[in-house]
Structure 1
Amino acid sequence: MTVDEDVAGRRTRLDAEMERCGAWPAESPWLPEAFAALPRDRFAPDRLWRWDGRAYVPLDRAVDPGSWADELYSGVYSAAVTQLDGGRPSSSLSAPSVVADMLDSLQIAPGHRVWDIGTGQGWTAALASWRAGPGLVVSTEVDERLAAFARARLAAAGLDTVVAVANGTAAGPPGGAPVDRIHATYAVEAVPWSWVEAVRPGGRIVYPWGRLGHVALTVADDGRSAQGWVQGLAQFMGDRHGPAQPDTGSTAYAAVRGSAEPEARREVEHDLAALDDWDLRFALRVAVPDAVVLTARDDDGLNAWIHDGDQSWATFVARGAGEPSLLLQGGPRRIGDEVLAAWTQWEELGRPSRYNYGVTVTPHGQRAWQGDPETGPQWPIARLHQATR
């Protein structure tokens, strides 16, 4: 079997898995056709990176094509790391299910002009071009090497797609506004108002919101606001030039806490097992956006480690059946208490799902809300602090 035949077989298996998992959006029947016409291996570099539990190790297509293909097509919910910066991922080919979900939320129609922000390897720009039509997708990428790579792969696929080197958070679309759709491929906490100004009234902006969740906004008829609902969970690379987001890695908690002893401790009655509920995790993300929550089980139950990427930390310690859990915390803020307050509010609201939250953006500020954009609970959205560590 040739390398190309081996890759083709993995494509077929992934397509079948997308079908079994219900990952093909029913309202976007064009997506399976686009994925088949423009498979992700055509936009993958010859070196990928796999986490081995201690560090990222290279997988070179020329050396070990089987492992390279396994990483690229490892599953519908798995991204493939394509670039490292200082030993940490700085670019990736997103998980196929997330790409399909976000493009479905974008509601591209033939003839739409699309601004793809954060070109990466060019795969999402290619899929959008397949749907919108020749010359209608423009893309910006801050990394000159990635932009050149994507430009070559898009040309090889026969697509007329402009890729410009620019900071999409600060610059407008190549060729100028307005556009009908914006598709952002890196996470921002607050939406740049320039994105809203670049979109026609009635147009849509789909973007990853912070560390968890992606949102679809519709620009109002007067162009003076944009509003929409959370569409699903997604974890993307952050804006390279934006405010620092807390490190979500397994060693970050220890870096924040260091050798500090707890400054406060108390018993809590909350069932820590609920932290496995992603609807709760999303509610915590909305109310305490800089709180990183890590969990693991031991013989006594689920334990949690929380930090803000700066100086404050908390630990929830399970103590076995029938025993209240213990909350230990330290630093200039009581982040454990903040998490407990948000957790209690979520329970009082009836444990709403992530899809029951939305975002409103105006020139004067941004807010998240639950249930109803006017009468439901509200949380201001702010750019996260620059970490001091």
Structure 2
Amino acid sequence: MSDGGGLTECRADLDAQMMQRAAWPDDSPWLREAFAALPRDRFAPDRLWRWDGAAYVPLDRANDPNGWAAELYSGVDAAAITQLTDGRPSSSLSAPSAVADMLDSLRVEPGHRVWDVGTGQGWTAALAAWRAGPGLVATTEVDEHLAAFARARLADAGLDVEVAVGDGTGGGVPGGGLVDRLHATYAVETVPWSWVGAVRPGGRIVYPWGRLGYVALTVADDGGAAHGWVHGLAQFMGDRTGPAQSSNGPDAYAQVRGDAEPEARRALDRDPAGLRNWHLRFALRVAVPDAVLFTEQDGDATVILVHDGHQSWAEIRSDVNGQPVLAQGGPRRIGDELMTAWSRWEELERPGLYDYGVTVTPDAQWAWQGDPDSGPRWPIRSLHPATR
């Protein structure tokens, strides 16, 4: 593949940014080598999509190779949108820092059998195969067009990876049997028990958890449960075959609220700017998982917009005297739920996101904080489906 658009420089810049950020995992030095051997541009389609503030606009490699490359390598924390469905992103090349961190969490070793769920363009399957070895990685993609694209790019890279078309959430490992590692590239709120059953005792499952964060689970020695810690904060696209996830941002909030006036209003004794703390944001995500929270600035003041993707909404903004006021409407008081969760986080002495974990059994799933057996816990359930 040609180096149009200065790809050699882009790759070098990415490596330097990862070094500067200390984003290359110390425990997995192989990842830096794999990124160099299998750069993300080898798995990118010739059309990417950029948000211009109002809509997604195409960036075609043939017409604008420099713009295409700049979008693909726009930063260590930036994903590149590779597909739209009904005007919304439906596939992407994930942010390099998140890819490196999740694969580090997966602890892939040579000889491991790996199931990559959600092939996309095939980049993460390629990186896993570089580490595990030929014929040891299988990947499942629900979109047959993406699967065909990934199959071709993996073959061009000389990698022996099985690409299967199917529903990775409800299906099984291509070819059957058990794997040592399972890596999911799309977000699920609850872990399919079939994933736990597909992994050998002692094996690992790394997956994006709902709207925010990713988790590394270890399957118990008897195969009857899996549990593990939160490992990071990235946001991923949701399972296409599961409940629709509500969109972030003011447009989604406006759709839920419409022209409704507040049904309840009260002053707050806390600064809404505190919700810029990502450890607090993650704690709220655990306690009120269907709450979509968005912050924006109104001059020097922070405005908080919240919705549940259906009918309930809340906003926090300061009045003319600078007093934060919570206004809300809909069938539930979602703003009050978040304030209660905020108070609980403070009672727990403000734990960080890495102090949380998840346990999965055949009958129930829950998040916990501090200790999987004795710490506080919150049930995890599938979010109610939105209109698709």
TM-score (norm 1): 0.98
Displacement of 1:377? 1.0
Matching residue of 1:335: 334
Instruction: Answer yes or no: is the 8 Å Cα contact 2:112–2:132 preserved in 1.
Output: yes
CA pair 272-5 structure 1, distance change in 2 beyond 3 A: closer
Q: How big is the shift at 1:233?
A: 0.6
- Write the letter of the residue equivalent to 1:174: P
1:262 Cα deviation from its structure 2 partner:
0.5
Deviations along 1:300-349, one digit per CA (max 9) or x if unpaired, are 5211010000000001112478x431010000000000000000000111
**Counterpart contact for 1:309–1:387, Cα < 8 Å:** yes
In structure 1, what is the equivalent of residue 250 of structure 2? 250
SS in 1 for 2:49: strand
- How much does 1:386 deviate? 1.2
Two-structure CA RMSD over aligned residues (Å): 1.2
Amino acid at match of 1:365: A
CA contact (8 A) 1:357 1:369 kept: yes
Q: Secondary structure at the match of 1:339?
A: helix
Identity of aligned residues (%): 70
Listed as ranges, the gaps of 5+ residues in structure 1 are none
Q: Which residue of 1 aligns with 2:191?
A: 191
Residue 136 of structure 1 and its aligned partner are, at CA, apart by 0.2
1:387 CA drift (Å): 1.9
| Equivalent residue number for residue 357 of structure 2 | 358
**How far apart are the structure 1 equivalents of 2:293 and 2:23?**
27
1:251 counterpart SS class: helix
The 5 A counterparts of 1:141-152 are 141-152=141-152
**Is 2:231 the partner of 1:225?**
no
Deviations 1:193-238 (A, max 9, x none): 0000000000000000001000000000000000000001111110
Letter in 1 for 2:97: S
Superimposed CA distance per residue, residues 80-112 of structure 1 (whole angstroms, 9 cap, x where no aligned partner): 000000010000000000000000000000000
Spell out, residue by residue over 1:248-269, the C-alpha distance to the aligned partner (whole angstroms, 9 max, x if none).
Answer: 1330101000011110011110
Deviation at 1:244, TM superposition (A): 1.8
Distance 1:219 1:286 in 2: 22
* Paired residue secondary structure (2:6): helix
The Cα shift of 1:275 comes to: 0.5
Whether the aligned pair in 2 keeps the contact of 1:300 and 1:320 (CA below 8 Å) is no
Residue equivalent to 1:272: 272
Which amino acid counterpart does residue 166 of structure 1 have in structure 2?
Answer: G
Structure 2: how far apart are the matches of 1:317 and 1:244?
Answer: 29
1:315-326 matched pairs, under 5 angstroms: 315-319=315-319, 323-326=322-325
SS of 2:373's equivalent?
A: coil
Deviation at 1:5? 7.1
Whole-Å separation in 1 of the counterparts to 2:11 and 2:300: 42
Amino acid paired to 2:17: E
Q: Residues of 2 paired with 1:250 and 1:6: CA distance?
A: 36
1:311 aligned to 2:303? no
Task: Give 1:208's aligned residue.
Answer: 208
- 2:239 is the alignment partner of 1:239: yes
* 3-state SS of paired residue (2:63): coil
Distance (whole Å) between structure 2 residues aligned to residue 388 and residue 261 of structure 1: 24
Corresponding letter in the other structure for 2:325: L
Structure 2 CA distance for aligned equivalents of residues 258 and 179 of structure 1: 48
State the secondary structure of the residue aligned to 2:57.
strand
Counterpart in the other structure of 1:377: 376
| Code of the aligned partner of 2:357 | G
Tell me the amino acid that sits aligned with residue 85 of structure 1: T
Task: Look up the equivalent residue of 1:361 and give its one-letter code.
Answer: V
- 8 A contact 1:300–1:319 mirrored in 2: no
Q: Kindly provide the amino acid, as one letter, of the partner of residue 314 in structure 1.
A: A
AA aligned to 2:37 is A
Provide the C-alpha distance between the structure 1 equivalents of 2:385 and 2:42, rounded to a whole number of angstroms. Answer: 37
What code does the residue aligned with 1:328 have?
Answer: A
Equivalents in 2 of 1:220, 1:318: separation in Å?
Answer: 50
Query: For the Cα contact (< 8 Å) 2:5–2:66, is it kept in 1?
Result: no
Q: CA deviation at 1:298?
A: 2.0
TM-score of the superposed pair, with normalisation by structure 2: 0.98
The yes-or-no answer on 1:113 pairing with 2:113 is yes
Letter in 1 for 2:50: R
2:301 — aligned with what? 301
Deviations 1:108-135 (A, max 9, x none): 0000000000000000000000000000
Instruction: Give the letter aligned to residue 199 of structure 2.
Output: V
Q: CA deviation at 1:270?
A: 1.4
Rounded Cα–Cα distance in structure 2 between residues aligned with 1:80 and 1:388: 27
Provide the residue aligned with 1:77 in structure 2. Answer: 77
Instruction: Give the secondary structure class of the aligned counterpart of 2:250.
Output: coil
> Match of 2:224, SS?
coil
Question: What is the CA distance between 1:245 and its match in structure 2?
Answer: 1.6
Range moving further from structure 2, 153-162 or 236-245? 236-245
Paired with 1:176 and 1:56, the residues of 2 have a C-alpha distance of 40
Question: Residue 299 of structure 1: CA displacement?
Answer: 3.1
Q: Quote the Cα distance in structure 2 between the aligned partners of 1:343 and 1:377.
A: 15
CA–CA distance in 2 between the matches of 1:318 and 1:125? Answer: 48
Residue 10 of structure 1 corresponds to 10
Kindly state the Cα deviation for residue 373 of structure 1 after the two structures are TM-superposed: 0.9
Alignment map for 1:124-163 (pairs within 5 Å)? 124-163=124-163
Deviation string, structure 1 residues 166-194 (Cα, Å, up to 9, x no partner): 10001001011210000000000000000
For 1:250, give the aligned amino acid: P
